[in-house]
Amino acid sequence: MPRVSYAFFMAAVVYGLIGMSLGIVMGATETFTLMPVHAHINLLGWVSLAIMGAFYALAGDRAPRRLAWINFALSNLGLMVCAPMLALLLLGNRAVTPILGLSEVTLVAGMLVFAAAIAVTAMGKGRARVAAASQAA
């Protein structure tokens, strides 16, 4: 399995544990103000990153390695900034709105890079095909 898949899976587990912990705290205190943060962490962190990691694992050498790592970086950077900024916004700090917006754009960019990686892989233009073509020449 490619290293990038392990990176996606490890990050997904970390986000899953953070999301679960936040859910436990919200339930124990019966304070659900941060429920959207909990949802973002679980869906964008745990679920999306796990799906992305699975794709890169299944695609193997056919997936474009550079796009995979860019996808990983954008998705993680976006969520690491988005989650705390969303929490601050929900707690009343409107000054974080521009930073939150930029982090959301970063998350969308990560998903667009993932879509590009899928397209490149589907068209057979990943690393394995390029390597095979250079060896045949």
| Per-residue tokens: 22 | 């936040």
Q: Could you tell me the CA-to-CA distances from 105 to 45, 48, 74, 86, 99 in Å, in that order?
A: 16, 16, 10, 14, 10
Q: Which parts of the chain sit beneath pLDDT 50?
A: 130, 133-134
Q: Is the pTM of this model over 0.95?
A: no
pLDDT of amino acid 125: 74
- Count of Cβ atoms closer than 10 Å to residue 56 Cβ: 29
pLDDT of amino acid 134: 47
